[in-house]
């Protein structure tokens, strides 16, 4: 094997890696290599500590925890949103931690989708995560329209990627709103958000992006690009924990826009407990909150986001590109005889994961788990491997490919059925 791809070189790369010390900040099961951070990130010790701190504040202060303690609950959504601003390129007040991916999409669609005249359609794409499409269909029905007529999906030419020319061509006079993913969840392809925002605005169409597979792994400049809105989860690359509170971005040009779905936590803070019948909404992204924040789903983010602010998204992106490039080199060198196809972009338009295609993908994923590597299966034939810059090493990547090679050499995957588990 090429010496540059051997384990000694992997160890040398780890020694030279300025971020390698952060791996010790995470709880990692001994003997396990975790490559599923694009589905659920690992627990960090800082996230664990901030959750325990919030539990302690409940125990110590009871109802007074809303205003007392190290992390008062009343402004917690705003404070966590502030921590996320650098990750999306937001200005002061443009980011709030609230809801979940789908709830926030419902809120934003209800706020920005105003079909009238010939502009009645929502433009999306057929490769997006289905939950987004379910929400958009629901919002169309709430307007008294038919999703099969008013949800316009950009088709993929190859089943992996979207051609941005096709997206731009679909921005016709019948489109009232555009919702697209920043990174395609299967293939990891990054869309040019700046260009697509400009093209949409040139046609008078508001546009928003789903950042679930981009936040925490690639830089964004949403404010500078003029993007109208964005939404995301925090349990993948941000390591906020299962069901962690989501986030949304509203460009400051929309601060006076009334949210489509009103709720008392969208009020101006000093007026919230006036209990007036008519709301006075906050003059920033906070207006798009609906109900009382889930304090214990916010709590781990306090500690987790400290890590991101310590490191900076540019350094994380640099390491992520190196990890995935190294993994692709190993795959091409070590696994060329076993029928794998690399289905993600090989240039820097890839996100944070590798997408391997193989006819036996489901059973290979099961064999990897049995061998101590945690991957992610996507039907019908996809294996996602996500070396996370904060807690995966180059040696982890090397060892993952070696275990995969052993599985293929000895056909260990044939011990398993080629069907996905209940949760893929």
Residue with tokens 């007392």: 68
CA distances to 8, 76, 187 from 25, in Å = 24, 24, 29
My answer on whether omega of the bond before 380 falls inside 30° of 0, hence cis, is: yes
Q: Please indicate if the annotation marks 280 as binding a ligand.
A: no
In contact, 201 and 69? CB cutoff 8 Å: no
In contact, 97 and 245? CB cutoff 8 Å: yes
Q: Please indicate if the annotation marks 125 as binding a ligand.
A: no
Separation between Cα atoms, residue 58 and residue 400, nearest integer Å: 42
Q: Would you give the distance in Å from CA 119 to the centre of its chain?
A: 30
Q: Please indicate if the annotation marks 235 as binding a ligand.
A: yes
Q: Please indicate if the annotation marks 131 as binding a ligand.
A: yes
In contact, 353 and 321? CB cutoff 8 Å: no
H-helix or E-strand containing 311? helix 295-311
Q: Would you give the distance in Å from CA 169 to the centre of its chain?
A: 27
Measured from the Cβ of residue 209, the count of other Cβ atoms closer than 10 Å reads 27
Residue with tokens 């489109």: 175
Q: Please indicate if the annotation marks 213 as binding a ligand.
A: yes
Query: How many residues can be counted in the chain?
Result: 424
Strand partners, 151: 122
Which residues contact residue 354 at a Cβ distance below 8 angstroms, ignoring those fewer than 6 apart?
188, 324, 327, 328, 331, 342, 344, 384, 385, 386, 387
In contact, 235 and 248? CB cutoff 8 Å: no
Separation between Cα atoms, residue 104 and residue 139, nearest integer Å: 12
Q: Please indicate if the annotation marks 329 as binding a ligand.
A: no
DSSP 3-state of 55 = helix
Token representation of residue 397: 């990547």
DSSP letter (8 states) at residue 341: E
Name which of 189, 203, 24 is nearest 123 in CA terms: 203
Binding residues for pyridoxal 5'-phosphate: 101-102, 129-132, 210, 213, 235, 264, 292
Binding residues: 101-102, 129-132, 210, 213, 235, 264, 292
């Amino acid at each position: 094997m090429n010496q540059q791809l051997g384990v000694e070189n992997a160890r040398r790369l780890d020694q030279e890696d300025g971020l390698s010390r952060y791996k010790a900040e995470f709880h990692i099961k001994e003997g396990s290599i975790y490559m599923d951070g694009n589905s659920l990130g690992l627990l960090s010790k800082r996230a664990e500590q901030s959750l325990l701190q919030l539990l302690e504040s409940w125990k110590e202060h009871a109802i007074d925890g809303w205003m007392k303690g190290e992390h008062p609950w009343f402004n917690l959504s705003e404070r966590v949103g502030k921590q996320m601003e650098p990750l999306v390129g937001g200005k002061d007040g443009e980011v709030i931690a609230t809801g979940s991916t789908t709830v926030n999409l419902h809120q934003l669609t209800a706020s920005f989708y105003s079909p009238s005249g010939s502009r009645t359609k929502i433009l999306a794409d057929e490769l997006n995560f289905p939950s987004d499409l379910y929400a958009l269909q629901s919002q169309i029905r709430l307007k008294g329209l038919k999703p099969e007529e008013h949800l316009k999906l950009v088709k993929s030419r190859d089943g992996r990627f979207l051609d941005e020319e096709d997206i731009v061509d679909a921005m016709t006079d019948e489109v009232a709103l555009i919702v697209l993913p920043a990174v395609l969840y299967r293939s990891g392809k990054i869309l040019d958000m700046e260009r697509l925002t400009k093209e949409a605005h040139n046609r008078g169409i508001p546009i928003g992006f789903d950042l679930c597979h981009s936040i925490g792994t690639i830089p964004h400049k949403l404010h500078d690009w003029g993007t109208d809105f964005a939404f995301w989860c925090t349990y993948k690359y941000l390591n906020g924990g299962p069901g962690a509170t989501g986030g949304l971005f509203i460009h400051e040009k929309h601060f006076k826009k009334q949210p489509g779905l009103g709720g008392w936590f969208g009020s101006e803070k000093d007026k919230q407990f006036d209990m007036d019948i008519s709301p006075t909404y906050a003059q920033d992204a906070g207006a798009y909150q609906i109900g009382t924040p889930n304090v214990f789903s916010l709590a781990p983010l306090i500690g987790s986001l400290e890590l991101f602010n310590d490191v900076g998204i540019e350094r994380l992106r640099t390491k992520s590109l190196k990890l995935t490039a190294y993994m692709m080199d190993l795959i091409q060198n070590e696994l060329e005889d076993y029928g794998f196809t690399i289905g993600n972009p090989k240039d820097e338009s890839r996100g944070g994961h590798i997408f391997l295609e193989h006819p036996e993908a489901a059973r290979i994923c099961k064999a990897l788990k049995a061998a101590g590597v945690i991957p992610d299966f996507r039907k019908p034939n996809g294996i996602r491997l996500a070396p996370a810059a904060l807690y995966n090493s180059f040696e982890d990547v090397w060892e993952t490919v070696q275990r995969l090679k052993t599985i293929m050499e000895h056909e260990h995957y044939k011990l398993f059925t080629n069907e996905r588990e209940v949760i893929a």
